[in-house]
Chain A
């Protein structure tokens, strides 16, 4: 379980709450208290919580736009290269670069690569897949996917001091506070 583990090998201290509003105010209190390295866990997305734990932008829009542009250009390039450069066929003197006929494929490639960028970019930026994570050591953490809400303050936080973090978290009236071992 890890509560009795050596404290030097610690990931952080976690507090459990029973409502999204409590987690929200706890995270805001932690931010106001000057903690920077923390994370909150909830069974569903809570609006504004990411700002409380110190995250501004997702970086997703630029990524997806980039994926879409690359997809569109490569889709069009493929059709153009095949019909103009690689295997030109003169059919009744019609133009080789018959671009309107390539719009559907260009469009589909745009969507496909943008969607790949969205999904794989989201997973990569989130650091998933990650089958092991220290918070899974917390006995009650399986409730984070049901109806409980958690706030962890990490040991690498410059302000991290075990006793003061414990005191701080307990003052927020959580259901319980637990050490998280690595």
Chain B
């Protein structure tokens, strides 16, 4: 911990009075760290006996959430989906809304771990593990919704193609079936990617752990990793290949999620620009959630050396860029509605702005249109409080976006005789709060038992890791 008392290099250099402070790059790892100090500081978070008081508070709150979820699912299994607010004409309410919200949040993890790896964005290194865990838990929370929305979840295995006595197949031409394949592949590949990244760090924990039980458990999961040069060679190649596979995968997943809507004929859903719109929204929501989680975690576990202001600022920039794409999409929705000349399309948009749910649309514009504009200013991008507030606006905004798309489009479609209203019930909120509880429960367990920053990748970030400073072989 002594390293942090030294003044970081970027705070010394402005004394020369030559380079303005804003042009001095903020480092991705604070100077003064060695292989040993990086290893010890990150693994100590996991291997220590006592967790900070705030961890216990968070864990207790998440456990309450999990209990709410259990109770809600119990009631749902006993009574049925009628306890939710869904009705005719709004057959997709909170369940699909939250599914899309959660799965979108997950996408930032894959973006950080795969796409930024391929783009050689080195700053991703200290946040990728955390973001991948977030992906995994967000997908777990998302998966609950469609599984329970089927009404008889004990028959959910019918979604998978298997030889059955009914001689029936799933409908492979349906976007909902594509969704089953996309989401289950996404969950599986994300888990593999995350686990492969963890193997060398599990070996580090195996070698550092004092208790026999911890040694055995970490030893089992590290698969006997010994850091052999031959193993590393294949490992790096595999990691890069997985990143290359995950990149089109993550784009395909939200594209297919958007097909759930775009392939249908409902005004407000039937749009060709849904796939890029949804993918940008997913990245936007995901980065907001990474910020929401990273800012407190960084503080709680004293990780300012590894998750520097540079990481937070870069995430703010990604949030701004994707936020602008999302806002552009809102403008295009309005333009298409006008320019299509189609009565139903036009009415759909007027109904969003003036109809019974106009407040949702207005709040959406504030959260996703106005709030991210603060990210233009360096003062907000480099302030943890500023970033956190904007990230919370985005979290809410992306939830509102799905509300505007799903129930608002459904509640007034072609025939005025089939119009209706959607009102969520306490059980809808129970599911929503419960899924948040599950997400945070898994996340708190993760930071307790696994290194939340990739230790071996942090070692490669240090200057002493370079073996060939002069002659770089291709």
Contact = CB atoms under 8 A, between A and B. Distances in A.
- The answer to whether A binds B is yes
Interface of A: 19-21, 24, 27, 39-50, 52-53, 55, 58-61, 64, 68, 78-79, 82-83, 86-87, 98, 101-102, 104-105, 107-109, 111-112, 114-116, 118-119, 121-123, 125-126, 128-133, 135-136, 141-147
Nearest to B189: A115
B228 interface: yes
A16 B229 CA distance: 14
Given A64-B241, A86-B169, A105-B178, A111 B249 contact: yes
A50 B232 contact: yes
A78 B467 CA distance: 50
Given A40-B228, A118-B238, A142-B207, A147 B249 contact: no
B228 A83 contact: no
Contact of A112 (B36, B185, B223): B185
A46 B245 contact: no
B204 A145 contact: yes
B224 interface: yes
Contact of B229 (A49, A128, A132): A49
A44 B230 contact: no
A126 B189 contact: no
Contact of A53 (B229, B256, B456, B460): B229
A112 B39 contact: no
A59 B206 CA distance: 29
Contacts of A61: 237, 241
Highest count of chain A CB atoms <10 Å: which of B35, B170, B203 = B35
B189 A111 contact: yes
Given A82-B172, A111-B185, A39 B39 contact: no
B229 A101 contact: no
Contact of B182 (A108, A114, A119): A108
B204 A131 contact: no
Size category of the binding interface on chain B? 35 or more
B34 interface: yes
A131 B220 contact: yes
B203 A46 contact: no
Contacts, number: 207
Contact of A20 (B175, B188, B465): B465
A112 B189 contact: yes
A101 to B, nearest CB: 4
Contacts of A102: 172-173
Contacts of A144: 207, 226-227
Highest count of chain A CB atoms <10 Å: which of B466, B467, B473 = B467
Contacts of A42: 227, 229, 232
The 3 A-B pairs at the shortest CB distance, nearest first, are namely A147-B35, A129-B223, A50-B233
Contacts of A104: 175, 178, 181-182, 252, 256, 259
B10 interface: no
A132 B154 CA distance: 42
Given A87-B168, A115-B242, A146-B207, A44 B459 contact: yes
A48 B468 contact: yes
B146 to A, nearest CB: 16
Nearest to A65: B241
B172 A128 contact: no
A153 to B, nearest CB: 13
B237 A46 contact: no
Given A40-B229, A102-B172, A108-B252, A19 B220 contact: no
A128 B223 contact: yes
Given A20-B465, A61-B241, A104-B256, 10 more contacts: A19-B464, A24-B468, A42-B229, A45-B232, A45-B235, A49-B233, A82-B170, A104-B182, A115-B189, A129-B223
Contact of A39 (B230, B246, B465): B230
B417 to A, nearest CB: 27
B39 A43 contact: yes
Contacts of B170: 82
Contacts of A135: 226
A117 to B, nearest CB: 9
A133 B464 CA distance: 29
A171 to B, nearest CB: 20
B35 A146 contact: yes
B192 A129 contact: no
